[in-house]
Chains A and B, each alone.
Chain A
Amino acid sequence: GDQVKQSPSALSLQEGTNSALRCNFSIATTTVQWFLQNPRGSLMNLFYLVPGTKENGRLKSTFNSKESYSTLHIRDAQLEDSGTYFCAAPTGGNNKLTFGQGTVLSVIP
C-alpha cells in the first residue's frame, strides 16, 4: 500500500481564503518535506520538518510523528499559490524519499 498518502487530490480555492492539505504516513518517519511544483515542473522547497510546527509567511506546517501525519496550512490564498503540492518522507535506509501523490491546488479570483 501507499506509504505516503496525500489528501485531497485536488482543491479549488477562492482567492483570500484558507485551507489545509494533509499527508498521512503508514510508516514511521522522522522528517517530512513539503514542496510546491510549478507548471514548468520546478520543485520549490516549502518546509523541512522534524516533529513540530514551522511557519513561513502565509504557510504553516505541522508534523506529528506520533500520529503519523503532517499538515500544510495556506492562509489568504493567492493566485501564485496554484500548483501541485507534494509531501515526502524518507523511507528505508537508502536515502530514499517517498512522495505522496500530490494535491493539485487551483486558486481562483
Chain B
Amino acid sequence: AQTIHQWPVAEIKAVGSPLSLGCTIKGKSSPNLYWYWQATGGTLQQLFYSITVGQVESVVQLNLSASRPKDDQFILSTEKLLLSHSGFYLCAWSSRDWGNYAEQFFGPGTRLTVL
C-alpha cells in the first residue's frame, strides 16, 4: 500500500524567514506529485506538479518554488515568507499510468502560520 508522509506537521515562522516543506511517498514508483495550498476556511488550490525527478511545473506561483530531488520526494520552499503564505499545505500523488485524469491521493498536510 502507498503511504504519503509530510513534514513538519506544523510550523510557526516569522515573515521574511525561509521555509522548506517536505513530502515523501512510499510504495509507488514514478508517481505524479502535487503541492496544494488551502487558506483557512478556503478551498484547495494547486501550486505545482511534477511527473518526474528534476521536472516541476508551476500552476500558481505565490512566491514559492518546488523541487523534486528524488523519485519519491517533493519539496516546497521559499527564501522569504510572506504573511499570505499562512495556511495548510497538502502534498498529493497520482499514478502516472492514468495520465491527466488519474485519481489523486493526499498526504496529512502541514499547517503553516506566518507571524
Contacts and interface: CB of A to CB of B under 8 A. Distances in A.
A96 interface: yes
A74 B59 CA distance: 33
A64 interface: no
A42 interface: yes
Contacts of B29: none
B101 A31 contact: yes
A95 B94 contact: yes
Contacts of A98: 46
Contacts of A31: 101, 103
A96 B102 CA distance: 10
A56 interface: no
Contacts of B57: 94
A41 B108 contact: yes
- Give the bracket for the number of chain B residues in contact with chain A: 20 to 34
A85 B98 CA distance: 24
A78 B57 CA distance: 41
A79 interface: no
Contacts, number: 57
Interface residues on A, range: 20 to 34
A61 B43 CA distance: 21
A30 interface: yes
A96 B48 CA distance: 9
Contact of B43 (A95, A96, A100): A100
Contacts of B103: 31, 33, 45, 48
Contact of A86 (B43, B51, B100, B105): B43
A43 B90 contact: yes
Contact of B101 (A35, A42, A90): A90
7 contacts: A30-B101, A41-B90, A41-B111, A42-B106, A45-B103, A94-B59, A98-B46
Interface of A: 30-31, 33, 35, 40-43, 45, 48, 86, 88, 90, 93-102
Pick the 10 closest A-B CB pairs, nearest first.
A48-B103, A43-B106, A99-B44, A41-B109, A99-B43, A31-B101, A95-B49, A101-B43, A90-B101, A96-B46
